[in-house]
Structure 1
Amino acid sequence: MNPSPTHDTPIELIQACFAAQAERALALRTSSASERIGKLKLLQAALLKRQSELHQAFASDFGKPAAEVDLTELLPVVDEIHAATRHLRSWMRPRRVMPGLTTLGTSARVTYQGKGRCLIIGPWNYPVATLISPLVSAIAAGNTVILKPSEFTPAVNAVLGTVIAEVFDAAEVTMVTGATATAQALLDCPFDHIFFTGSSTVGKLVMSAAARHLASVTLELGGKSPVIVDESADLAQAAELIMWGKLVNAGQSCIAPDTLFVHRSVRDELLHRCKVIVAARYGKSDAAIASSPDLTRMIHERHAARVAALIDDAVGLGAKLLLGGGHNVRERFIAPTLLTDVPPELRAGAAGHRF
């Protein structure tokens, strides 16, 4: 039986789930392409069946519009499933290789098999895509999986928990929920592979825990994403791409643009175009933008307060507020904001921040 998708999973149940997957992991290594493809198609059908439920869940957790949910959460997963089901048979096919000098006269081939028991730890910013996309790969490769979503997206987790329990037996795939204690209990288990998406700080802890068990890891970690615009750029296209990348999911993306380095000859025109895009898409004032149904909210009040403080600190240190700056921490609202002439010391101090 899969654990509850909305409460902290007891450590004893985590250990029981991990133990239950040991025997199943051995069987899945020799499962056929047809069996794996069948599971992936069931997963896709279950997700799409609950599309409206996911829309409501994202509205609850993020205030995220339905079209953005489809574009950034569901379509990427569907694409992953389509790619896996289309290519899986060729991926699984053994490959002949030439023997080395010391083994002349023999034949050799490479046979692919799953890692075994896998752990996937997802972040809060894209709670479906970053959790289910690696699950697709793990299932295609013939593994068992324990999923650990972020505790900050309880409504989405509840829907995902229902999907997982409907499609998979707990000995194959299960989802556990909770905060730090849950994550630590999982990292104490000797998984064969760990897939983690999140901060570099936590990534180091994950890699350290994996090393204790000689587990392999896949780490997708956050960082900075500066944008450089020179005098030869197509400014209309540049402005559209920059503002789309920054404002989708309210900028809560690991590769969202956060700093613009613009050639002085095109600076004013580019910034003007950025302002026009925001006005057309969300409204011309902070009040209008705040009431727009198309702008996602911050994940929680603490994050909203942190970003609001960064903006206020920048203005206090001499940065010029070209656009936005408004915020309502209780409502988790941060207006699209453009700052210019940011002091060097602030740029250095903000280097570790993700907006």
Structure 2
Amino acid sequence: MTDSTTDLSQRLQILRTAQRAEPMPDWPARAARLRTLEKMLLEQREAFALAINADFGCRPREETDLLELFPSLSAVRHALGHGRRWMKPRRRLAGLAFLPARTELRPQPLGVIGIIVPWNYPLYLAVGPLVDALVAGNRAMLKMSEFTPRFSALFAEQVARYFQPDEVAVVTGDATVAQAFSALPFDHLLFTGSTAVGHHVMRAASANLTPVTLELGGKSPAIIGPGARFEHAVERILFGKLVNAGQTCIAPDYVLLPRAQVADFVAAARATAGRLYPKLGENEQYTTIVSDRQYQRIAALRDGAVAAGARAVALGDEATGNTQPRRLLPVLLTGVNDTMSVMQEEIFGPLLPLVPYDSLDEAIAYVAAHPHPLALYLFEQDQALIDRVLTRTVAGGVSLNDTLFHIAQHGLPFGGVGASGMGGYHGEAGFHTFSHLKPVFRQARFNGVGLLNPPYGARFKRMLGLLLKRG
């Protein structure tokens, strides 16, 4: 059952009324909601995995457990372990001229947080921001993706079982509902999805002056440096590209590598893919593409590149039986150039272009000349070269000598920059995103501010002179 656009305002009002009645939930209340979320994840683990598998056609239980359930539970437990401390007021030093006054920052919930969930990791990208919203003391309203209808309906059903309607609300529906959702007057709106849709979300939110966090995407490069452990680099790039069949916002989108190593990469990638996914074309541990539309889009990128002169190298053999019609073999693309759509659009699937370079500075310049990516991956052992890349490139986040795992670090914010997004969350950074750090100035009973009162005579001029000299 989907939600109508007229229901949205009513559900938001229920949440807002409850938030006004309890604007500053204490730690026991926040911890109870987090434990309820943990309980739901554990008790519905199998049902959630089965629903996601049904939506994708083939999404192995192991992948859902590793990439969605584990980071979701880890986020809940991290918040339970640190949330009480995050809530505490932070003392700050008053300016010298204002002593003995005191100042502090008091974290305060923003109110009701809107969360728009994408289809590629529908569990983790719902629970992750929800954890941050709850630990910060907010209520939340989530819009699930219409492209994972079974999971979205199940998640909405289970949230309604475990939470009160004035704590967390989940809505489903098509693009019309999503448009109406993004136009609601939330106190903060977090959107995860494409850059194109992000423009519309930000435009809708601006009508209410709703602050937004946009987690978008872009073309995240993997750079193999001259001093990289080459076989290791190939394995980790293939891992990051092939889990969820590349349907990951921070999947390596293309590889920059020394020109002399292109053939070696192709050979190593074929061996690695065969080791990670034996009989890949019929391997049930290799995820299928979520929909016919997405399958056709990715296939068109591949075929368009080949028609324009690229060479496609399949990493596996086709299945003997067509048991999963949306299983798309991973393909390396060599001989690509920037005029091809596959080098202009985020791939979001199991295609991996190889872009050779003659010097590392050339690779750095290539990355710097394109829109800032959501993630950057560098494989290199020389610290001077690592520092050069980190200094001269801009990216939402970086993993060195691996892929994907910077997203799972609770001590690091996750977010994009420029075309790949704005703002960040996860852990304490997420607590701050969904809180207002209210500045408080406490004047001392005995103070000298009266010396600056009008009328402005000689005493005032002497005091002002001291302030201007020492302030």
TM-score by length of 1: 0.92
SS in 2 for 1:242: helix
Contact preservation (8 Å) 1:37, 1:140: yes
Distance 1:316 1:279, change over 3 A: same
CA deviation after TM superposition for structure 1 residue 200, in Å: 1.3
2:373 match:
none
The one of 328, 331, 347 aligned to 1:354: 347
Aligned AA (1:294): Q
Is contact 1:231–1:265 with CA below 8 Å preserved after alignment?
no
Once residues 345 and 215 of structure 1 are traced to their aligned partners in structure 2, the CA distance between those partners, rounded to angstroms, is 37
2:144 to 149, 161, 170: 149
> Structure 1 residue 175: deviation in Å?
0.3
Deviation at 1:21, TM superposition (A): 1.3
- Counterpart-to-counterpart distance in 2, 1:294 and 1:301: 20
Choose 1 or 2 for highest CA Rg: 2
How far, CA to CA, are the matches of 2:123 and 2:22 in structure 1?
Answer: 24
1:129 corresponds, among 121, 124, 128, to: 124
Q: Give the unaligned 5+ runs of structure 1.
A: 1-6
Q: Does 1:273 align with 2:273?
A: no
CA deviations on 1:1-20 (whole Å, 9 max, x unpaired) are xxxxxx32012211110111
Cα displacement (A) at 1:265: 2.8
Structure-to-structure mapping, 1:328-343, within 5 angstroms: 331-343=325-337
Distance apart, 1:324 and its partner CA: 4.3
Report the alpha carbon displacement of residue 246 of structure 1 after superposing the two structures with TM.
0.3
For the Cα contact (< 8 Å) 2:179–2:201, is it kept in 1? no
Letter in 2 for 1:17: R
Which residue identity does 2:125 align to in structure 1? T
Which of 165, 169, 175 pairs up with 1:170?
A: 165
CA deviations on 1:276-335 (whole Å, 9 max, x unpaired) are 01112223xxxx423210110111001101111111122222211222496989821210
Offset at residue 237 of structure 1 (A): 0.9
From 154, 160, 179, the counterpart of 2:155: 160
CA distance in 1, matches of 2:324, 2:343: 23
**Correspondence for 1:303:** 294
Deviation digits for residues 136-178 of structure 1 (CA, Å, limit 9, x no counterpart): 0101111111100110111111221232112211111110001
Note the 1:76-155 alignment, pairs <5 A. 76-100=71-95, 103-155=98-150
Change in 2 beyond 3 A, CA 1:255/1:95: same
Shift of 1:344: 4.2
Q: CA RMSD in A?
A: 1.9
Q: Which residue of 2 aligns with 1:207?
A: 202
Which of 174, 183, 208 is the equivalent residue of 1:179?
174
> 2:280 maps to which residue?
289
Cα distance in 1 for residues equivalent to 2:209 and 2:6? 23
Aligned twin of 1:233: 228
For residues 236-247 of structure 1, the aligned pairs below 5 Å read 236-247=231-242
Match of 1:44 among 33, 38, 41: 38
Identity %: 37
| Aligned amino acid, residue 354 of structure 1 | I
- The 3-state SS of whatever aligns with 1:332 is coil
Q: Secondary structure at the match of 1:294?
A: coil
TM-score by length of 2: 0.70
Amino acid in the other structure paired with 1:261 = L
Partner deviation per Cα, 1:199-253 (whole Å, 9 max, x = no partner) = 1121122222222212211111111012121332101210111000000000001
Q: Offset of 1:266 from its aligned partner? A: 2.5
Partners of 2:101 and 2:225 in 1: CA distance? 58
What does residue 65 of structure 1 align with? 60
Q: Which region of structure 1 is more displaced relative to structure 2, 245-254 or 271-280?
A: 271-280
Q: Deviations over 1:36-80 (max 9, x none)?
A: 111111111111111111121121011110110001111111111
CA distance in 2, matches of 1:265, 1:340: 13
Q: Classify the secondary structure of the residue corresponding to 1:15.
A: helix
Measured after TM superposition, the shift of residue 120 of structure 1 is: 0.3
Which residue in the other structure is 1:3 paired with?
Answer: none
Alignment partners' CA distance in 1, 2:172 and 2:211: 23
Q: How many residues align?
A: 344
Residue 354 of structure 1: how far off its partner (Å): 2.5
Distance 1:81-1:313 versus aligned 2 partners, 3 A rule: same
Alpha-carbon displacement from aligned partner over 1:81-139 (angstroms, at most 9, x marks no partner) = 11100001110111121223564332222111111011000111110111111000101
Distance 2:178 2:230 in 1: 45
SS in 2 for 1:312: helix
- Report if aligned partners of 1:118, 1:145 keep a CA contact under 8 Å in 2: yes
Find the counterpart in structure 1 of residue 20 from structure 2: 26
* Deviation of the 1:270 alpha carbon: 2.3
- 8 Å CA contact 2:338, 2:344 repeated in 1: no
Does the Cα contact within 8 Å between 1:43 and 1:163 map onto a contact in 2? no
